């Protein structure tokens, strides 16, 4: 039996058949790494074992494979950059071997290795995610905190993915180990700040969803819970985009007619997600999911559009541009019968966007007229849409500050005129009459205010005159009263004057 070797030493290939089952010794105190909390080994003895010995029997190779899986359960502190360097490198090389072994060999996934694989993967990837180092972290502006142990973790994820994709993989065997608890822990890792890790987890969860039919409803339910917490409680979750990307392919596979559960998900989760502060980070994936629903069931289009109009941004121009882009994607797949149901409220909002002083919002709305399918829908329903759009378009053509917007508006007006010149002329005449009436009302209003100002000045002057008269009258009355008192009681008057002079002295 080969003795334990120090870190970094190797067993020659010819010695594999004599390898002991026990290949490591370790202790496991807790330690915070740069971005996660792990149990790691301070000192351990590593043996690098060659797994592809051509002289080894199949049984010995399986045994060695399991030993390597056990060996890779040893964790290292990557925050400490000077300790266990050789052992870290040896584990990395061992993980590389495991990836290669599972990828290139058939018949290696026998039943006893399933628990060993899930244990090794769980030990390496499941951990407590720490709070962000920057409380004011902005994913659009700030660099994310990368996982310090990524040199090992990347290979663990790669190995697990190859394990799931192996032709010999048996879901019926694996379901005892890849269960709801495992999936729940995997979903929690979507909150990792490291985008490399989230990308791996996204692919792995997608494979699990495809292979484990019994877990599908659970996965959807837990994703719903994550989104509900994000919308109504935390307003923070790093993996929203990745989860929506998974859901996009899941929605694409929904059977028709859609279940009530799926429609509820659209209305209670996807539509309210548009209110999130971090919408820009995942809007592309969210819009894809919404459009998928509209394509699957055209009758949902009206509900979707009205939901978007309900949550339309009031103060964020960037979000308005995103909403306009999403609406265009929906209109690209809308059926003409459904378009008629939403054309009036929709184009009232588009008209407001065209009139926006923010040129990007106005420009994005005007680009609808460059879309041939949308243009055909407008042409079919021009009698409804022209009266809604005309006033703002005509006014902007005269008043907007941005020459690019003015040029686009002229092109739109020209297109509308070609669609229905008679209605266009009527709207033009009506608009001019309305403007004249407005000007007349404005003049009357100004005249009224002028008269009110004159009346106010007259009243002010009259009040001031009345005050002077009252004061004058009051003063005269006082003087007369004093003279009258002196005439009636001259002795008292003299006494009062003497007392007054005395007090004055």
Q: What is 302-318 written as a DSSP string?
A: HHHHHHHHHT--SS-HH
248 and 186 both lie in a single domain: yes
Residue 367 located in a structural domain:
no
Taking a C-beta distance cutoff of 8 angstroms, is the pair 148, 35 a contact? yes
Residue 247 located in a structural domain:
yes
Taking a C-beta distance cutoff of 8 angstroms, is the pair 16, 56 a contact? yes
84 and 18 both lie in a single domain: yes
113 and 260 both lie in a single domain: no
115 and 246 both lie in a single domain: no
- In degrees and rounded to multiples of 5, residue 128 shows phi and psi of -80, 125
Dist CA 190 CA 66 (whole Å): 29
Number of H helices, E strands in the chain: 20, 2
- What secondary structure letter does DSSP report for 35? S
Q: pLDDT tens, position by position, for the chain (505 residues)?
A: 332 222 333 322 222 223 333 333 333 333 334 445 454 443 445 555 555 544 456 788 888 999 999 999 998 888 777 787 888 899 999 999 999 999 998 889 999 999 999 999 999 999 988 877 666 666 667 778 888 889 999 999 999 999 999 999 999 999 999 999 999 999 999 999 999 999 999 999 999 999 999 999 999 999 999 999 999 998 889 999 999 999 999 999 998 899 999 999 999 999 999 999 889 999 999 999 999 999 999 999 999 999 999 999 999 999 999 999 999 999 999 999 999 999 999 999 999 999 999 999 999 999 999 999 999 999 999 999 999 999 999 999 888 889 999 999 999 999 999 999 999 999 899 888 888 888 888 888 888 998 888 888 888 877 877 776 666 666 666 655 555 555 555 555 545 554 555 444 4
Residue 270 located in a structural domain:
yes
110 and 164 both lie in a single domain: yes
114 and 228 both lie in a single domain: no
Q: How many domains does the chain have?
A: 3
| Final residue in a domain of this structure, among 269, 296, 323 | 296
- What secondary structure letter does DSSP report for 10? B
Residue 206 located in a structural domain:
yes
Dist CA 152 CA 339 (whole Å): 53
Tokens of 226: 């994550």
| Final residue in a domain of this structure, among 139, 171, 203 | 171
Residue 201 located in a structural domain:
yes
**Bridge partners, residue 39, by sequence:** 30
List the CATH number of the domain containing 13: 1.25.10.10
| Final residue in a domain of this structure, among 242, 263, 296 | 296
Residue 56 located in a structural domain:
yes
- On the CB side of 205, CA atoms within 13 Å amount to 31
443 and 491 both lie in a single domain: yes
Residue 255 located in a structural domain:
yes
1 and 97 both lie in a single domain: yes
Task: Output the 3-class SS for 321-389.
Answer: HHHHHHHHHHHHHCCHHHHHHHHHHHHHHHHHHHCCCCHHHHHHHHHHHHCHHHHHHHHHCHHHHHHHH
Tokens of 184: 């729940």
**Bridge partners, residue 32, by sequence:** 37
- What secondary structure letter does DSSP report for 268? I
pLDDT at 26: 38
200 and 163 both lie in a single domain: no
Q: Domain range holding 480? A: 437-504
Residue 400 located in a structural domain:
no
214 and 280 both lie in a single domain: yes
191 and 115 both lie in a single domain: no
187 and 162 both lie in a single domain: no
pLDDT at 179: 95
Tokens of 384: 């409804």
Tokens of 283: 């809007």
């Amino acid at each position: 039996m080969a003795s334990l070797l120090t870190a970094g030493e190797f067993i020659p290939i010819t010695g594999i058949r004599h390898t002991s089952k026990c290949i490591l010794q370790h202790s496991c105190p807790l330690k915070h790494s740069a971005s996660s909390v792990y149990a790691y080994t301070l000192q351990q003895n590593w043996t690098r074992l060659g797994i592809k010995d051509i002289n080894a029997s199949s049984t010995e190779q399986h045994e060695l494979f399991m030993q390597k899986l056990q060996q890779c359960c040893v964790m290292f502190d990557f925050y400490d950059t000077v300790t266990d360097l050789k052992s870290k490198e040896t584990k990395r090389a061992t993980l590389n071997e495991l990836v290669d072994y599972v990828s290139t060999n058939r018949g290696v996934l026998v039943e006893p290795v399933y628990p060993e694989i899930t244990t090794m993967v769980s030990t390496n990837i499941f951990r407590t995610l720490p709070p962000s180092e920057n409380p004011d972290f902005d994913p659009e502006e700030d660099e994310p905190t990368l996982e310090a142990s990524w040199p090992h973790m990347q290979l663990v994820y790669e190995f697990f993915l190859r394990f799931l994709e192996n032709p010999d993989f048996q879901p019926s065997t694996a379901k005892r180990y890849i269960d709801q608890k495992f999936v729940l822990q995997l979903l929690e890792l979507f909150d990792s700040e490291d985008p490399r890790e989230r990308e791996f987890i996204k692919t792995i969860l997608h494979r699990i969803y495809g292979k484990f039919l019994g877990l599908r409803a659970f996965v959807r339910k837990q994703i719903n819970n994550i989104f509900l917490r994000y919308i109504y409680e935390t307003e923070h979750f790093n993996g929203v985009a990745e989860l929506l990307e998974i859901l996009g392919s899941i929605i694409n596979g929904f059977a028709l007619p859609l279940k009530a559960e799926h429609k509820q998900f659209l209305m209670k989760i996807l539509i309210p997600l548009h209110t999130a502060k971090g919408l820009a980070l995942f809007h592309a994936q969210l819009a894809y999911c919404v459009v998928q629903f509209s394509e699957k069931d055209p009758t949902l289009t009206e509900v979707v559009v009205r939901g978007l109009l309900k949550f339309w941004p009031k103060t964020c121009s960037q979000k308005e541009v995103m909403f306009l882009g999403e609406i265009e994607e929906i209109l690209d797949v809308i059926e003409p019968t459904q378009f008629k149901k939403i054309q009036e409220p929709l184009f009232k909002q588009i008209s407001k966007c065209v009139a926006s002083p923010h040129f990007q919002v106005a420009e994005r709305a005007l680009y609808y007229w460059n879309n041939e399918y949308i243009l055909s829908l407008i042409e079919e329903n021009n009698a409804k849409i022209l009266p809604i759009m005309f006033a703002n378009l005509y006014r902007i053509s005269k008043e907007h500050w941005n020459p690019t917007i003015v040029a686009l508006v002229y092109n739109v007006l020209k297109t509308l005129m070609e669609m229905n010149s008679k209605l266009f002329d009527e709207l033009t005449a009506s608009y001019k009459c309305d403007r004249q009436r407005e000007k007349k009302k404005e003049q009357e209003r100004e005249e009224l205010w002028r008269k009110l100002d004159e009346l106010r000045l007259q009243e002010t002057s009259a009040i001031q005159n009345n005050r002077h008269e009252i004061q004058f009258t009051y003063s005269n009355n006082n003087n007369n009263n004093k003279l009258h008192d002196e005439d009636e009681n001259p002795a008292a008057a003299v006494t009062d004057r003497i007392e007054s002079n005395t007090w004055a002295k």
